[in-house]
Amino acid sequence: MSTTSAPLLTHLTELRKRIIYSAICIALTTAIAFHFYEPIATLFMAPFNTMLPNDASMNVHNIYEGFFVKFKLSFIAGAIMALPYVLFQICRFIFPGLTKTEKKWASIALVASSVLSIFSTYMGYVIVFPTVIKFLTSNAFIPNNIQILLNFNQNLSYIITFLFGGIIMFQTPIILTVCLAKNIVSRQFLLTNARWFIVSIVIISAIVTPPDIISQLSLALPLILCYYLCILMAKLLRWGTS
């Protein structure tokens, strides 16, 4: 075996070990979430329970729906609970190959990523969901003589789609900041092409969120603000000058 293939094989073996550890953790947390399914489902559906009119109800359309929803929600809740351990395994794999400075920046990026993920989840769960539900089920759209029957699976998917879409989208300021710090892109380029980036943010927000304007704007507007904050921070730190 050549000297170049030996380190590659070592890295692949280490990567496989970290993936196996992460998969085992996700399986265990999924089993725990499956056991505590009812309170987890109640937590996810709380915005609907508090903001829907009194005569509204949540329903299932077939006998298999509850079964598949339970497994889906248990896996998602398990993945969320396992996320800190998965990030730890990623760090264990990446950090040995980084310099001291790179480790510092990687740690800052992980902390910032976690903060932005928590912010987007809080914003969606506490602010956006109740507002959207109250707005779309109001008398402005649904007459008083129409009873509201919501599908459990579809509306749970609505919550999950928005949460995960928000978490993924709110990682873009981290990527943009890294690109500015490494002078991969310049501040002038971002400012000159800001309108195209804003249009892209609006379009992607429309894709990853449910089809209502409130959800789309609640994701797009904070990201546009983060876009300009990244440029401002880069100017203060003299990044992105190339």
Question: Which pLDDT score is estimated for 108?
Answer: 80
- Read off the pTM: 0.74
Range 190-212 burial, b when 16+ CB lie within 10 A, else e: beeeeeebeeebbebbbebbbee
**Containing structural domain, residue 217:** 171-242
Q: Quick one: 68 and 46 in the same domain?
A: yes
pLDDT mean for each 10 residues of the chain (242 residues)? 58 86 94 93 82 76 87 89 86 79 78 84 83 80 81 84 82 84 86 92 82 79 90 86 72
The strand ranges marked E within the chain are 57-59, 149-151
Say if 163 falls within a structural domain.
Answer: no
Q: Are 209 and 165 in contact (CB under 8 A)?
A: yes
Say if 162 falls within a structural domain.
Answer: no
User: Domain boundary at 132, 157, 182, which?
Assistant: 157
Question: Which pLDDT score is estimated for 27?
Answer: 95
Question: Which pLDDT score is estimated for 242?
Answer: 63
Q: Show the 3-state SS of 71-115.
A: HHHHHHHHHHHHHHHHHHHHHHHHHHHCCHHHHHHHHHHHHHHHH
DSSP state, 63? T
Q: Quick one: 133 and 178 in the same domain?
A: no
User: Domain boundary at 95, 122, 157, which?
Assistant: 157
Report the candidate in 48, 38, 242 with the shortest Cα–Cα distance to residue 129.
Answer: 48
Question: Which pLDDT score is estimated for 133?
Answer: 81
